[in-house]
Every structure is written in C-alpha cells, then in structure tokens.
Amino acid sequence: MDDPSLNELNQIRNPVRKRNRLENYDYNTAGMYFITICTEDKEKLFGIVINGTEGEAPGVRLSEMGRIVERQIQSINRVPFVQVEKYVVMPNHVHMILSVEDNNRQQKRPPNDLIPSTIGGFKRICSRKIGRDVFQRSYYDNIIRTQHRFDLIWNYIADNPRRWKQDRFYEP
C-alpha cells in the first residue's frame, strides 16, 4: 500500500462539520461507510488509553459504559443488511466501518435511511442501557468509495489508540 498523503489523513482526523447527511444520497446503497460518534461535550466516559508494555500494543481499557457501547456495536451485526467491519471504542468517541450489503436480491427491502436509522438505534440503546444520554446529537459519516480509502480508514481505526495524543478528540 502506498503511503497515504498528509491531506488524506487530515481529512480523516479532522472531519469538517457538514450537513448531517449527504443530500440526495440513498443510504441503502451497498458499500462501506466510515462512522464517527462522539460523546456529549467530548466527555471521556468509555475508558482510558493504555500505552502497552514490552511488545504489547496500546489499547483502550474500557469502563463499564465502554463495555456497553462495545456490546452494542457488536449487536449491529444483527441488523439486516448491515455488518460492522472494523471498530474502536475510544474514551470519548467511537469509530466504525459499516458495510451495507447489496440487497437487490433480498426479498425484504431495508428502510430508506438504513445507516441513519442503524446509528440512531445504536445511540438510543446505548443511552438507555447506560441510564443517560451519552452521545452528541449527530455523527460524522464518510462514504468509502475506493479500496485505497478503505485501507487508509481501516489502519486509522486500528492505530487510533496508539495515536491518541495526536487525535483531534484528545484532551488531557
């Protein structure tokens, strides 16, 4: 894989606030979607980043709230037509790559807002199980259109704990 350009990495690390969803886009379209959901006021609720020791990779030691969020991410795989390909739960945000399968052959059509309804349901269930609203009102989404972009985002998610102090959501 070629080294990603600095511009591409900055677009992933520093997404610009935009309209909630892409205008006139069908979120039932088969493909990959990069999703980032932040906690309200970037509050660190889901755990702490650990540096790792002697060959152990950095990671996130999840709090009880973080474990609830992780279980709910894993349960997204029960949503028809949607699969979680990769994710990371960070102290104050979550990254996911969601795939939507080609449903032209399916007997049952998904709702017209498959990605927004999946994320909305995920956020509601997490907040209900935690006992309070924990996520900000909206979320970031990015339609992954190329293999290069998929690889770049996959690696970004995998490396997120190691790069925590350079993350735009990091606050000491």
Residue 1 in domain: no
Residue 43 belongs to what domain range? 6-163
Residue 169 in domain: no
pLDDT digits (tens, 9 = 90+) for 99-131: 998 766 555 655 567 888 999 999 999 999 999
pLDDT at position 37 is 97
Which pLDDT band, with edges at 50, 70 and 90, does 7 fall under? low
Question: What would the two tokens of residue 30 be?
Answer: 């088969």
pLDDT at position 10 is 58
Q: Say how many CA atoms lie within 13 Å of 171 toward its Cβ.
A: 9
Residue 159 to residue 104: CA distance in whole angstroms: 35
Residue 168 in domain: no
Q: Record the pTM.
A: 0.81
* Residue 171 neighbours by CB under 8 Å, 6+ apart: 42, 44, 92
Residue 77 in domain: yes
Which pLDDT band, with edges at 50, 70 and 90, does 166 fall under? confident
pLDDT digits (tens, 9 = 90+) for 28-56: 778 899 999 999 999 999 999 987 666 66
Question: What would the two tokens of residue 166 be?
Answer: 């350079």
Residue 144 has pLDDT above 70, yes or no: yes
Residue 135 in domain: yes
Which pLDDT band, with edges at 50, 70 and 90, does 1 fall under? very low
pLDDT at position 165 is 84
Tell me how crowded residue 113 is: count the other CB atoms within 10 A of its CB: 14
Residue 98 in domain: yes
Quick one: CA dihedral 132, 38, 1, 145, positive or negative? positive
Per the structure, how many domains does the chain have? 1
- CATH code, domain with 120: 3.30.70.1290
Residue 171 in domain: no
Residue 172 in domain: no
